[in-house]
Structure 1
Amino acid sequence: MNLYGGFLKKQIRNYIFGSVVAVLAVGSLILLSSLEISTVEYFRLLIILLISFAIMAVVEISVFIRQIRPIRAALTEHRPALAMLEEAYLHTHRLPKLAVQRILGPHFLGLSLPASVMTYWMIRTGLINLPYFYLVLAVAGAILVACMHALIEFFLTSSAIIPLIKNFRNRALELHMVDFSLEGHVFVPIRPKFLITCMLIGTFPLVLFIMATQIRLETLGGRAAESMRSYWEWAGLVLLIGTLFSSIAAWLLTRSVQHPINELYRAMNNIKDGRLLQVQDEYSDEFSKLVAGFNMMVRGLQAREQQSRQLLDSYFTTLAVALDARDPYTAGHSLRVAEYSVIIGQLAGLTGQQLDNLRKSALLHDIGKIGVRDSVLFKEEELTEEEFDQIKSHPVLGENILRQIEPEEKMAPYLGGVRSHHERYDGKGYPDGLAGTAIPLHGRIIAVADAYDAMTSDRPYRKGMDHDRALAILEQGRGTQWDPEFAGLFLAYFGKTGKSDKANLPGRAG
């Protein structure tokens, strides 16, 4: 309740300040001081101004009470519902724009209309000796005064609502564990705000001066119609030039502010999409500090991203090494399969993240063997059908193990290769009997690399075959057991490089 009371007091002070500056000071001191009328007529005009001002205040206060009703309800409620807080939060953001509507409407309806009617009546009855033309000038002046008052109220209200916004957000967090955010929604765009502000600031004094001068000249000299026409031609030219300069200044100012904002907004979208790109610092004002701070944040994110990537890479590698360590005869198998797979992927045109995902899939392709008993996995004699089924279950076991790692979406790129690396191109593989390109890409590549390393590795029950013999078997199985394209790429590469290059791969003794 204290916050609500403080907000009301601030709004009342703001209104009085704006009214004094825009209505009383400008209206009475500039316009009225230019008139050559008697003291009694001045007094009568002042009464009209005060009565109109009172009507305007009544209309405006009633509109203001209606506008702050959602805010008052949320601030005075002991435990407001989430919907009430959200409505008040959004409504508070609209208050500056509503303040402009609150000022302009009552000025026209509460000030201009009653003042014009009362002044017309006094001129007609002879209580005030003024030309009817002055009524037109008075209405034009009232429009300018209303615009200036609305401008002042807009910026003062924008400052006054900040404590309310913080309060609604904090209470939503405290009571409902929900954090309010506009999510980039713009209630008042910068371009019209700057354009209107600069136009008013630039043209307001000119128009008032021209109007006051016209009244003063007419009261002093009784100028002829021809001279007055010349005056208005001159005044119109001055006003046109002033408006033109104000428009150009407003456009240039808006452009200079919008450009860095748009650059930072695009950069933030890049960060949201995972692209940690810095912003080119091309500014010599305070925006340079903002860009420098943004780039500092990006560099920090890049450093943490690099650390996370290194940690994840070492995690995958350590897991693969730990898996291979169960069997001294297959030590380094996962690392070698990963390196073979990367070679095939590069030859097939994979790059960047695609290649990294392939490497990690290959490192973990046999992780499901953790779930296979040692007595079956390391058996030297021929496996029974049941034992062979256990061996064949390791791709599915591996996929299930990876699915337990959070967040799920981070593991998703590796699941296809782990599950399908024992599928055959002719559809006779396991666990799903997939055929051709229905087999995931990583599975088809890893299958070639895995088969070659398995054939050339020593086992307790057999010695690994030589390089040429393994390549010959791969050649025979192209299009049946293995994807013809990837097997062909592997054969072309290792058929040229020979066995000596293979000996230097990680995990392989020289």
Structure 2
Amino acid sequence: MLTYQQFVKNLALYYLFGSFIAVIGVGVVLIPTTLALEPRDLLPLTIIVFSSILCMMSVEWFFFKRHAKPIKNVCMAEAPSYEELKTAYYQAHQFPKLTGYRILGPHLFGLSIPAVILTIFFIRIELVHIPYAYILYGIVCAVLIAGMHAMIEYYHTSTAIIPILEHIQKKSLHLYQKKLTLEGKKIISLKTKFQLSALLFGAFPLLLFSLATQMRLSQGEALLIEVYWVWSLLVLLVGCGLSLYGARLLFSIVAEPLNHLHDKMKKVQEGNFDVRAAEYYSDEFSQTINGFNHMVKGLKTREVINNQLYESFFETLATTLDARDSYTAGHSVRVAEYAVEIGKKAGLTKEQLQTLRKTGLLHDIGKIGVPDDVLLKEGRLTEEEFKAIQLHPVLGEEILRTIQPADLMEKLIPGVRSYHERIDGGGYPDRLMGDQIPLFGKILAVADAFDAMTSDRPYRLGMSQKKALQILKEGSGTQWDPQFVKYFIEWCNENNQANHEHKEKPAAML
């Protein structure tokens, strides 16, 4: 309701403004400076003008209500049908053209026909004492005013319909989850707009000046050269001013959609494929925006597929790594899950959590380069064999640096290389300590240690969760970062509590 009321209010303001510009530019310039009217004719002519305006407004209001009815019905109704929304959406796009037609039709003829009839009648009964030629001048003036007014109103209405289009679009999405679109249809082409605008705005000063000159010459009035130049300069200035204003409006219909598209393209360049350009336009830009939206939709689909392939790559590679040792099957996936839960507790962003998960899935990728007789050995490792094992974080980094695109792997490298470092500096491969250890390395160290302790091995059974958490507590501040140990223990307790409640719930319901 409020949207429609604001729409009508804006149209009324634009109408008054356009009328003022057109009437001031033509009528006020021509009549006082050109026509020689007797004082006794002013009152009858004023009556004629006001009567004609009332007639014009009545006819124009009738057509306005008829044109606005589909839009009003949709704005007033709480749940209009989808067909009603489609009709209103198309009618809103048509509204600038219909506004131009109203001014060139009901507006022009609703004013000029009553004015001509009344003027002829008043001349015949001698209430008005002007030549019949003035009626012809008046008709030409009315056509000039209507033409200028129609063009100004067309451009202003193109702006006024935007909130209405947004409102109708939102209703369609809310009620039916369907987006309304012109599908690239043109209502009025840019070519037509430019041709009509160039004709009107370009020829307007000449037509105005020619008409004013003819009106003065027809009166047989001798003009001093100084008076003539002052008068002609005034007429030309007004005509050129209106043309410049019209040119500014014409420029806006091109600049506005271009700026809108430019803003949306910048967002796409930033990687936002959810953006869509608004379909506010019903000329060639309708086709351009429709094509742009289809392109972005295609990019979004491709991005989803690429992400699925990307995620599948990590999952498959992690599964392949774990397959080398049946006793560690699922290790990488579990470490990734534990690390993400710690990251959530630590307040990491969504993007950071995604990177942390991928790092967790590939944290053991360097073990590809460790010989099976060392990696799968059941007994105690020799010093030389342990040194070979200690190289796997470095080998992991080297492997990731060979994978393209390099910038995607670069984020994973710090965590892969450093997850065997210790807070006290006793880890490997770089003997980092404290804050020297990358964030993901410290998180993965806790997740990897917990899963290693609770998983079965050929030479031992996995320990209980309680015992593993106790060891993490004891090593907090020396082997592992105390904050991340704390977060992991909190998550384990919450997870255990949730599982306990879930198991008890069916019994409680009996």
TM category, shorter: 0.5 to 0.7
The residue type equivalent to 2:414 in the other structure is G
Distance 1:411 1:466, change over 3 A: same
The aligned amino acid for 1:202 is F
How many residues align? The count is 306
> 1:460 pairs with 422, 445, 458, which one?
458
The runs of 5 or more residues in structure 2 that have no matched partner are 1-192, 503-510
Find the counterpart in structure 1 of residue 260 from structure 2: 263
C-alpha distance in 2, partners of 1:286/1:475?
68
Asked if 1:486 is matched to 2:484, the reply is yes
**CA separation of 1:292/1:213 partners in 2, compared to 1, >3 Å: closer, same or farther?**
closer
Aligned to 1:238: 235
Distance 2:289 2:475 in 1: 58
Is 1:275 equivalent to 2:269 in the alignment? no
Quick check: 2:454–2:462 contact (8 Å CA) kept in 1? yes
RMSD of Structure 2 on Structure 1 (CA): 3.1
Aligned counterparts of 1:214 and 1:279: Cα–Cα separation in 2: 50
- 1:498 is paired with a residue of what secondary structure? helix
Change (3 A) 1:208 1:501: same
Distance between the aligned counterparts of 1:239 and 1:203, measured in 2?
12
Going from structure 1 to structure 2, the CA distance change for 1:263 and 1:213 (only over 3 Å counts) comes to closer
**1:331 aligns to 2:329 (yes or no):** yes
C-alpha offsets along residues 328-350 of structure 1, whole Å, 9 cap, x if unaligned? 11110000001111111111112
Q: Within 5 A, what are the aligned runs for 1:362-441? A: 362-441=360-439
Alignment CA distance shift 1:411-1:209 (3 Å): same
Distance 1:411 1:393 in 2: 19
- Alpha-carbon offset, residue 212 of structure 1: 12
Alpha-carbon distance in 2 for matches of 1:215, 1:314: 82
- Report the alpha carbon displacement of residue 426 of structure 1 after superposing the two structures with TM: 2.0
1: CA distance between counterparts of 2:204 and 2:253?
Answer: 25
Q: Are the counterparts in 2 of residues 206 and 242 from structure 1 also a CA contact under 8 Å?
A: yes
Q: Deviations over 1:70-127 (max 9, x none)?
A: xxxxxxxxxxxxxxxxxxxxxxxxxxxxxxxxxxxxxxxxxxxxxxxxxxxxxxxxxx
1:253 is aligned to: 250
Matches within 5 A, 1:89-128: none
Residues 1:343 and 1:216: Cα distance change in structure 2 (over 3 Å): closer
| C-alpha distance after superposition, 1:289-332 (max 9, x if no partner) | 21111010011111111001001111110110111011111110
Task: Single out whichever of 232-241 and 378-387 deviates more from structure 2.
Answer: 232-241
C-alpha displacement of 1:232: 3.3
Q: Distance in 2 between matches of 1:448 and 1:384?
A: 25
1:205: Cα distance to partner?
Answer: 6.3
Name 2:305's counterpart in structure 1: 307
Q: Retained in 2: the 8 A contact 1:198–1:247?
A: no
Q: Is the 1:203–1:239 contact (alpha carbons within 8 Å) kept by the matching residues of 2?
A: no
- Post-superposition Cα deviations, 1:182-215, rounded to whole Å, max 9, x if no partner, equal xxxxxxxxxxxx99x9799836763698599979
State the Cα deviation string for residues 42-66 of structure 1 (Å, max 9, x = none). Answer: xxxxxxxxxxxxxxxxxxxxxxxxx
Query: Normalized against structure 1, the TM-score is what?
Result: 0.55
Amino acid of the structure 2 residue aligned with 1:497? N
Aligned counterpart for 1:296 among listed residues 284, 294, 297? 294
Q: Which runs of 5+ in 1 are unaligned?
A: 1-193, 505-510
**Pair 213,264 (structure 1): closer, same or farther in 2 beyond 3 Å:** closer
Q: Contact 1:422–1:430 at 8 Å: present in 2 too?
A: yes
Contact 1:368 1:396 in 2 (8 A): yes
Indicate the percent of aligned positions where both proteins have the same amino acid.
Answer: 51
- Structure 1 pair 364–501 and aligned structure 2 pair: CA distance change class (3 A): farther
Give the corresponding residue for 1:445: 443
Checking the alignment, whether the CA contact within 8 Å between 1:198 and 1:246 is kept in structure 2 is: no
